[in-house]
Amino acid sequence: MTNAVYYVSYKLKKGACVEDFLLSAEKLNNEHISKQKGYISWQQLTDGKTWLDLITFKTIEDLNNFKEASKRPDELAKKFYSFINPFSCKENIFTVKKSY
């Protein structure tokens, strides 16, 4: 069984407060995402302009269930999404073939 990684890149809306964005992400993670079946971790990376989320689940099925549930965002998710430019989003799903 291999882990699955949800890869999402995006830009924040012009004028978005990074500190508030990160607080909303932490709250979303702690109160919702981390409680999903198979959740392993969520990493947020940035080069100062583009953001990258890597959310890792134990299985592709766990990740797909998370994605399906995400189609009905709760208030925490809506707050998180409010910082993101929706036209800049790119996503993909990867399976881990080897870790070193």
| CATH number of the domain to which 78 belongs | 3.30.70.100
Q: Quote the pLDDT of residue 56.
A: 98
Domain that holds residue 84: 4-93
User: Is residue 100, in this structure, part of any structural domain at all?
Assistant: no
User: Is residue 99, in this structure, part of any structural domain at all?
Assistant: no
Q: Contact 14/88 with Cβ under 8 angstroms? A: no
User: Is residue 98, in this structure, part of any structural domain at all?
Assistant: no
Q: Quote the pLDDT of residue 99.
A: 87
Element (H, E) at 32: none
User: Is residue 44, in this structure, part of any structural domain at all?
Assistant: yes
Q: Quote the pLDDT of residue 1.
A: 73
Q: Which two tokens stand for residue 4?
A: 């699955």
What is the pLDDT averaged over residues 40-69? 97
User: How many folded domains does the chain comprise?
Assistant: 1
Q: Quote the pLDDT of residue 48.
A: 95
